[in-house]
Structure 1
Amino acid sequence: MRVFRLPERPEQHRTSGAQILALLGFLALALLVGAVGGTATVPNVHSWYDVLPHPPGTPPDWVFGPVWTLLYIAMAVAAWLIWRGPDILTRQRRALRLWGWQLAANALWSPVFFALHRPDISFFVILVLDGLIVMTIAVFRPVSRIAAALMVPYLAWCLYATYLNAGFWFLNR
């Protein structure tokens, strides 16, 4: 009788085609969240956002698109590195679940801030997002230090966005 064993390094048993499809899937998901955020943002930039008093250090509008695109790509690659890690067992599943939750919180922020015009509520959304990113980095690190490192610029940008969100809330009460 033969006993079934999980391979010690499953990524070696995944075809390169499956790995490419997985990477494309993570990229598509992350960039889709960015596109959804953009649909909530773009119609409100010139009609609402631009007329608000801005906190000091607010970057020009053109900065946001390229920065967020790079951050979504880095997030996707980080998740893919976790997915292809050495043991797609409990540790990776937990890490990818957290990655999904932070992506969901990310997707929620733009509609709340821009479409609903609620810097107050979006501030609490972004605090939750910040916490989820920190937790994601913490569970990514034991699996892949590179994946964890890819999430650090995203955390830094979100902390900066938290400052901006708080400033908009304070200045526009």
Structure 2
Amino acid sequence: MAPMRRNDWLALGGWLLLTFAAAALGSAASIRAADFYATLAQPHWAPPATVFGPVWGVLYLLMALAAWLAWRHGGGWRGARAALGLFVFQLVANTLWSWLFFAWHLGALAFIDIILLCALLACTLVAFWRIRALAGLLLLPYLAWVSFAAALCFSVWRLNPQAL
């Protein structure tokens, strides 16, 4: 592998900034999430609310690294436009979910959004894998968590028709 150039470091910073900006926008919708989440009926297999923050922090870091690897090994935006475009679209769906569920209490739309997120994420993972296998591998924990979150979203929505 070629040594890191200044442009590579700047791109890494850019992918970290973009990914954590999406995280910040989503978390803005989640300011009162713990209070709201505590009022909802939960399935017995739901994790405690304190698990979500640390898990998402790690996942956002892995996402940014995956995007950077795809960018670096795919020839930048020009060479990896489709894969990186999918990444950006899944970031939008990811951010929107927090608003739909926590801020606007729209359970059905949140569930539709997270299913779309799963599909976009699976496509992104495959596209990244084709560019560099490690980039795809870094998205596997994210896909696993979002799949679990989709089941949890559905269950919580169905258990709380009055609130969602």
Normalising by the residue count of structure 2, what TM-score does the alignment of the two structures yield? 0.92
TM-superposed deviation, 1:34:
1.1
1:46-89 Cα deviation digits (max 9, x unpaired):
1x221110122111111111100100000000000011115447
Matched residue SS, 2:149: helix
1:29 equivalenced with 2:21 (yes/no) = no
1:10-35 Cα deviation digits (max 9, x unpaired):
x95x9621111110111111111111
1:30 and 1:72 in contact (8 A); partners too: yes
Identity of aligned residues (%): 39
- Separation in structure 2 between the aligned mates of residue 33 and residue 86 of structure 1, nearest angstrom: 23
Q: Which runs of 5+ in 1 are unaligned?
A: 1-10
CA 1:37/1:86 → structure 2, altered by over 3 Å: closer, same or farther? closer
> What's the counterpart of residue 58 of structure 2?
70
Q: 2:38 aligns with which of 35, 50, 56?
A: 50
1:51-130 pair list within 5 angstroms:
51-88=39-76, 92-130=80-118
CA 1:72/1:142 → structure 2, altered by over 3 Å: closer, same or farther? same
Q: Which runs of 5+ in 2 are unaligned?
A: none
2:71 and 2:77 in contact (8 A); partners too: no
| CA RMSD across the alignment | 1.8
2:69 and 2:132 in contact (8 A); partners too: yes
Which segment is superposed worse, 36-45 or 150-159? Answer: 36-45
> What's the counterpart of residue 28 of structure 2?
39
Normalising by the residue count of structure 1, what TM-score does the alignment of the two structures yield? 0.87
> What's the counterpart of residue 126 of structure 2?
138
- Separation in structure 1 between the aligned mates of residue 4 and residue 150 of structure 2, nearest angstrom: 41
Matched residue SS, 2:80: helix
- Separation in structure 2 between the aligned mates of residue 72 and residue 50 of structure 1, nearest angstrom: 24
Runs of 4+ in 1 over 6 A off after TM superposition: none
Aligned residues: 161
TM-superposed deviation, 1:43:
1.7
> What's the counterpart of residue 165 of structure 1?
153
